[in-house]
Amino acid sequence: MESSSCCSSMVADLPQESFLQRTLERLPSTQSLKLTAEEAAPVAVVAIQRYLSEPTEGQQLDSYSYDVTITDGVWRAKCFLHPSLNHLVHRNTLRTGTDVSVRQCSFVYNERRLGHGYICIEKVESSAETSSLLPRINNPSSLPMLVKHGMERSVLLQSDVPLQVSRKHYLSLWNNDDPEGDMWISGSASPDPVLDVSKVTLLSSLESSFRASWKPLPLLVKIIHKSRLRYYGKFGLKIDYPFQTYFEVADQSGTMSLVLWNELCPEYYLRMNVGAVLYLQNYTLKQSYSNRSRPQMDHHRMKNFTSVEICLNPRNPAAVITVVSPKSILPQWGLPEVSYQFTARSELEKISNGSACDVIGLVTFVGRVERVRSKGNKAPEKYWTYRWVHSVDGTSDRPFILELFSSSQPEIFNQICPMTYLVCTQMRVCQVEGSLPYLTSSCETEIFITGYHKGQPYVSDPRVKSFIQWTKTLKDNVVLQKTAVGGHYCYPPPPRRFSQSATDTSGQVPLVAASDLKRELESLQYREHKKLAIQGEITAIRYRNDPKKVSNEPQDYSSDTHKDPADCLMSPSSDRSKANTRKRTNQLSKAVPSSLNCASSPTKRRLKYKNTKEREEQEEEESASAYEQQECQDSVASSWESSSWSKQREEISEHLRHGGLHQDSVSRRFTFDEKSALLRWSNLQPTRWTPQAAAAAAPPHTPSPGHYQLTILGINKQIAVDAAFLPVVRADDPRAVGLSQDPHDNSMLSCLSSGFLCPLHSTAGDGELTPRESEEILATARGLENTHVVCVLELCQLGGDKVEILIDKVYRVMDVTLD
């Protein structure tokens, strides 16, 4: 069979040699094609797209399916990922921008539809962490899509829709809240038709009309609040576009809820913004759904009609929606202005818990994007994405602490960075006993940053104008010294006492058995965060100067593997020398032993270079290897272990060594030059590879502040787990905000209990532990011998085999409260 009869030749001048085309030609002759390492040429992963799985007979392997688009530089091919490989996406092991080798695949025909089929990837291996193919392709979407001969007319194979034909749309890769795909229409609508406003009815008349036989008259309303998207798809639900979102709309008579359903969401959601005026026809009314959140609207000083809500449906009847262009809005329509309730940081402590407010501030810290599994959600599983942000408004020396969940505005959420002006609406106040209050998102929260403020109704608010005037007094170089991006961050700090209640478990950290911890670690998905507590005793501590080295070696992706952490790396000598010059008043009364256990010399760093500059840096580092080996003898990592640990370690059934500190665990100073790289580093892996993203290379490896690696032995002495403790050392560390800084004696136990070194350094120049300080603290570790403790652990899956396990707080048993 000639190649032209097997594959669709879309571009005449393409090179003849194509791994994907050659593979497709071989597939008809076998049920499943296995490729040797020599046959499996590397292909680049261009896109990974997620959607709700089709119902299948027997056991459902996963709630979601994945289509993976790959390229060999000649053709593109959208392939179905076999469900047994979904875990590779769950952990971001298989991701866009990398090269992989397809080692086994098959061709699957749709038996219920003519002319539809696709390649199914059944086994895949990593080839390169950073693709060598993609930099040579300016625009992967310009490459032709490889389609089997006879299927060229299939619209589905050429469109932005799933390969599984029962599903009509994709979901965002990491949550269900963000619009995803070409079907979401943005921008202004076509020119306004002539509107007949003479027969419009007021919202106040709808409540009385609800149960009567009536013909709906047109409505003319303004949007004053907008919720994030809700995806309610599930197995067996025969709705192609199961989306819903609601708005609060107003006219001169009051406010009412409006609900947008199903395929109307992709068509109108991005165009129906706060401040927009709608002309609505063919709507329906229904009794309000009481079990949902609502925005707080007392500041509007308008009557709220809450017994019924307006429904806009795609059919039965098909609603007619007109988004009126701003130039066509007339003042005689009497529509109310959108109002806000901006709150200054200096006022926050006085606001009651749960109240709503709007805030504006200059961003100083942006945490990495993390995910948390939705509670009480069964199938399909659901994740929320969120990040922590600090912003200042000049009214207080303390920042706003903001917990921002996805608000269905991914283009803004992913661009939040220090030095931008951030507006957050309808945030909920969370008062914290013994610490600073923070604000968390509600379903109605919207966020806006520099570049997105133009045309928003709040720009004329007096509080906003006052904030802008204050920012004109600032100097960028001064503010930049107080900025940070990424790293581990969690708020609020744990309470002084650990409580466990048999009746009320809300808000308390789950106390799990050490044996369950392994299951919890293995179940974590990419950037998923969990907080757990275990009880036991601390049996070993080691002070380390740098995060563990992460292997760049290719891995077999056909099955899950877990690797033991590699040996730690020492900091560059210049940083160590700088640290050695720093001094702190010794608060310890005990003498420090003059001799310390010497750790084995670390191996040389083998960083993977991608260009000439990195190659030169690598060679320069290797030339200094002998010097670094000598330095290791002078500033070794100290260690301590309990008197019984050597015997206990021989008796334990398992030692969980996953945890530790990684490059992703520590925040970095923000600079405008590294803005794109820092954003890419702190955001989630993108669903599509773009040349722009590739240009933003990952930030360079930087040595982190020293930290302690602890081994915790479970209370029944069967399982041990390693965890890192990174104390807060300096006052400008984002983690220091809201931390109770009661004086303590800098013993190992008091540092683990408080989370910080006392007192904190006031400047970034004194931002690390000196070797002397680390030794002094470690010398007190003998106080932990045979001490029963409860350890609060922060878990986060950072992608691939990287799992972050950090100690948040250690409680002695006497600090535990039982209800």
Within 8 A by CB and 6+ apart from 781, the residues are 538, 541, 640, 748
Specify whether 647 is located in the same domain as 778. Answer: yes
Q: Distance between CA atoms of 577 and 569, rounded to whole angstroms? A: 16
Q: How far apart are CA 197 and CA 322, in angstroms?
A: 12
Question: Average pLDDT, stretch 153-177?
Answer: 86
At residue 17 the predicted structure's pLDDT band, cuts being 50, 70 and 90, is confident
Give start and end residues of each alpha helix (H) in 344-461.
Answer: 410-413
The CA R_g of the chain, rounded to the nearest whole Å, is 29
pLDDT at 71 over 90: yes
Interval 327-378: pLDDT, tens: 899 999 999 999 999 999 999 999 999 999 999 999 999 999 999 998 866 6
Q: pLDDT tens, 503-535?
A: 666 668 899 999 899 999 999 999 999 999 999
Same domain, 153 and 282: no
Q: What is the mean pLDDT of residues 725-752?
A: 92
User: CA angle 141-130-95, nearest 5°?
Assistant: 65
Question: Residue 653 maps to which CATH number?
Answer: 2.40.50
Note whether residue 565 is domain-resident: no
Rounded Cα distance between 92 and 324, Å, is: 43
> How far is it, in rounded angstroms, from Cα 223 to Cα 247?
7
pLDDT at 543: 92
How large is the average pLDDT for residues 403-408?
Answer: 97
Residue 574 lies in a domain: no
**Residue 230's beta-bridge partner residues?**
244
- The pair phi, psi for residue 679, each rounded to 5°, is -65, -45
pLDDT at 763: 65
User: Considering the domain boundaries, does residue 673 fall inside one?
Assistant: no
Six-digit token pair at 467?
Answer: 């904030």
Q: Which two tokens stand for residue 187?
A: 């921008």
Residues 472 and 515 grouped into a single domain: no
| Domain shared by 36 and 135, yes or no | yes
| This model's pTM is above 0.85 | yes
Q: Which residue has the tokens 């129906």?
A: 272
The answer to whether 140 and 62 are in contact (CB under 8 A) is no
Burial (0-12, 13-18, 19+ Cβ within 10 Å), 803: buried
| Separation CA 135–CA 643 (nearest Å) | 55
Spatial CA neighbour of 340 closest among 423, 406, 442: 423
From 277, 303, 333, give the residue that closes a domain: 333
Domain end marker among 485, 507, 530: 485
Instruction: Tokens 């749709």: give the residue.
Output: 110
Same domain? For 97 and 236 the reply is: no
Residues 509 and 656 in one domain: yes
E runs forming strands in 232-344: 243-251, 254-261, 277-281, 284-287, 304-312, 320-324
DSSP string, 677-733: HHHHHHSPPPSB--HHHHHSPPPPP-PPPPEEEEEEEETTSSEEEEEEE--EEETTS
For 645-684, write each residue's pLDDT tens digit.
Answer: 999 999 999 999 877 789 899 999 999 999 999 999 999 9
Please confirm whether the linkage preceding 703 is cis (ω < 30° from 0).
Answer: no
Identify the pLDDT of residue 150. 80
Number of domains making up the chain: 4
One domain for residues 365 and 322? no
How far, in Å, CA of 777 to CA of 767, rounded? 17
Burial classification of residue 559, based on how many CB atoms lie within 10 Å of its CB (0-12 exposed, 13-18 middle, 19 or more buried)? exposed
**Helix 625-634, helix 573-580: angle, nearest 10:** 30
Pairwise CA distance, residues 525 & 512, whole Å: 19
502: left (phi over 0), alpha (psi -120 to 50) or beta: alpha
Q: Are residues 801 and 657 in the same domain?
A: yes
Same domain as 389, residue 512:
no
The distance of Cα 588 from the centroid of its chain, to the nearest Å, equals 41
Q: Which domain holds residue 438?
A: 345-485
DSSP annotation string for 119-149:
EEEEEEEEEESS-SSGGG-S-GGGSPBP-BT
Helix residue ranges, H only, 591-643: 612-623, 625-634
Identify whether 458 is part of a domain: yes
Q: Are residues 468 and 513 both part of a single domain?
A: no
State residue 696's pLDDT score: 67
Contact 685/621 with Cβ under 8 angstroms?
no
Establish if 392 belongs to a structural domain: yes
Q: Which residues of 248-282 are buried (b: 16+ CB within 10 A; e: fewer)?
A: bbbbebbbbbbbbbbbbbbbbbebbebbbbbbbbe
Q: Which residue has the higher pLDDT, 123 or 138?
A: 123
Cα distances (angstroms) measured from residue 219 to each of 85, 321, 501: 51, 10, 52
* Cα–Cα distance measured from residue 385 to residue 379, given in angstroms and rounded to the nearest whole number: 18
Based on the domain organization, do 783 and 726 belong to the same domain?
A: yes
Is 678 inside any structural domain? no
Q: Which of 662, 702, 696 has the alpha carbon at shortest distance from 488?
A: 662
Answer yes or no: is 576 within a domain: no
Contact 427, 401 (CB under 8 A): no
Residue 313 domain-assigned? yes
Residue 450 has, within 13 A of its CA and on its CB side, a CA count of: 11
pLDDT at 590 over 70: no
Cross-strand bridge partners of residue 47 = 69, 688
Range scoring the smallest mean pLDDT among 186-190, 287-291, 351-355? 186-190
Mean pLDDT score across all residues of the chain: 84
Among the candidates 167, 188, 217, a domain finishes at 167
Instruction: List the single range of 108-112, 123-127, 415-419, 630-634 with lowest mean pLDDT.
Output: 630-634
Q: Which residues pair with 810 in a beta bridge?
A: 791
Which two tokens mark 579? 């640290």
Question: Could you tell me the pLDDT band of residue 792, with boundaries at 50, 70 and 90?
Answer: very high
Same domain, 329 and 358: no
